[in-house]
Amino acid sequence: MAGLRSSPHRQASTSSTRRGILRSTLSNSGPPREAVFSARSKRVFVVSGKNPLTDPGGYASYGYVVGECLTQLGYEVDLLAFGERDEEVRTAAGRIRTFGSRTVPRRTEFFPFWCRRFAREIHAALGEAEQAVVHGVGPWSLAGVLAMRKNRRIKAVGSYFTTLRNEMFWLAKGVPINDYGLGPKARYQTAYLVVLLTLHPIERWALSRLETVFVHYEYTRKLLERELGLRGRNLVMIPYAIDLQPKAALNMIPAAPADHPFEVLTVCRQEPRKGINYLLRAYRLLLDRGVTFHATVVGSGALLEAHRKMTR
């Protein structure tokens, strides 16, 4: 196991105790201090937007893992998401509570409307003197900020990977006209401008009011510092742990017979940021050079049909 290298500015390691206290040891910040998750606030609301049971992946799956970890540490966890109807399901990650709406679409672009609903539900679920932490994932951190404004016993934290502005910028950049035509380019460019003018200011406001922002990548830390001006004690970096395949093991892979084509399998969403068009170009170069192989790209997405056309 190895951790990704990270900035020395604000790196955290966590540990649990029998009392269910989550401690955070922060470098360059004095003695270990208790994080916002403590025995005084045993109630945690995780806001992921999408339901991890019906729409897994991305923020939803991350939120589920956060809920599962906190549940194992002894916290009472509610995971809030939008859905077709109001319902509650008990899982290893706590109670997954979904809320439906006849007027608001179930899409991330409408997160300000959904976060207002989630904030109301958080207030309704808490007792008069009960403390709680709201852990939002990405832009869904807005729910905790809204809830905190009306209840000082609520602490709002968030986990971030990118910003809506940065995400839409690369979506627009990832559909070159020579590969996809003018239509997709115009749609994604328009979406970027809409996000820049409407959703980006809301996200910036919410991020500036979070008590703690957790990041896992040096890229994200630099992005939040550059784009949103976040610095100092409210920005905590928790590196992922990853498995490393020893290079020596690669020599142990048996070579396929010369007359037997090897298989290449790619599992990926078919969206602009993934670079599937560049992958398909690379495959074409290999074929033109006489390399025998069979390649499959598995995944749904807005650009699936465009990628199918590129393979013909």
CATH code of the domain in which 81 resides:
3.40.50.2000
CA-based nearest residue to 134, from 66, 38, 46, 213: 46
Mean pLDDT of 10-34: 39
Residues 190 and 294 both lie in one domain: no
pLDDT of residue 159: 96
Q: Examine residue 86 and state whether it is found in any structural domain, yes or no.
A: yes
- Other C-beta atoms closer than 10 Å to the C-beta of 98 total 20
pTM of the model: 0.74
pLDDT-based confidence at residue 259 (cuts at 50, 70, 90): low
Q: Which residues contact 187 (CB under 8 A, 6 or more apart)?
A: none
Residues 165 and 27 both lie in one domain: yes
Mean pLDDT of 276-304: 89
Provide the percentage of residues in the chain whose pLDDT is more than 70.
Answer: 80
Output the CA angle 184-189-192, nearest 5 degrees.
Answer: 130
Q: Which domain, by its residues, includes 258?
A: 254-310
Q: Which residues pair with 63 in a beta bridge?
A: none
Residues 164 and 104 both lie in one domain: yes
The last residue of one of the domains, among 189, 210, 242, is 242
Residues 149 and 119 both lie in one domain: yes
Residues 238 and 279 both lie in one domain: no
Residues 23 and 129 both lie in one domain: yes
Residues 108 and 215 both lie in one domain: yes
Average pLDDT over all residues of the chain: 82
pLDDT of residue 300: 84
Residues 68 and 210 both lie in one domain: yes
The two three-digit tokens of residue 199, written as one number: 């959703």
The last residue of one of the domains, among 214, 242, 270, is 242
Region of 198 on the Ramachandran plot (φ > 0 left; ψ -120 to 50 alpha; else beta): alpha
Q: Examine residue 248 and state whether it is found in any structural domain, yes or no.
A: no
Report how many domains make up the chain.
Answer: 2
Q: Examine residue 137 and state whether it is found in any structural domain, yes or no.
A: yes
Query: Which amino acid is it at 169?
Result: F
The two three-digit tokens of residue 218, written as one number: 């040096």
Residues 233 and 280 both lie in one domain: no
Q: Examine residue 247 and state whether it is found in any structural domain, yes or no.
A: no
- DSSP β-ladder status, 94-99 and 132-137: unpaired
Residues 260 and 237 both lie in one domain: no
Q: Examine residue 249 and state whether it is found in any structural domain, yes or no.
A: no
Output the CA angle 234-24-7, nearest 5 degrees.
Answer: 60
Distances (CA, A) of 5 to 37, 153, 201, 211, 218: 25, 35, 31, 24, 8
- Other C-beta atoms closer than 10 Å to the C-beta of 35 total 21
pLDDT-based confidence at residue 241 (cuts at 50, 70, 90): low
pLDDT-based confidence at residue 32 (cuts at 50, 70, 90): very low
Residues 192 and 296 both lie in one domain: no
Please tell me whether residue 140 adopts helix, strand or coil conformation: helix
Distances (CA, A) of 243 to 2, 87, 126, 206, 264: 7, 38, 40, 34, 21
pLDDT of residue 239: 76
pLDDT, tens digit, 9 for 90 and up, residues 142-169: 999 999 998 889 999 999 999 999 999 9
Q: What whole-number distance in Å separates Cα of residue 175 and Cα of residue 182?
A: 9
Residues 177 and 198 both lie in one domain: yes
Q: Examine residue 233 and state whether it is found in any structural domain, yes or no.
A: yes
* Highest mean predicted confidence (pLDDT) among 88-92, 183-187, 298-302: 88-92
The last residue of one of the domains, among 242, 271, 299, is 242
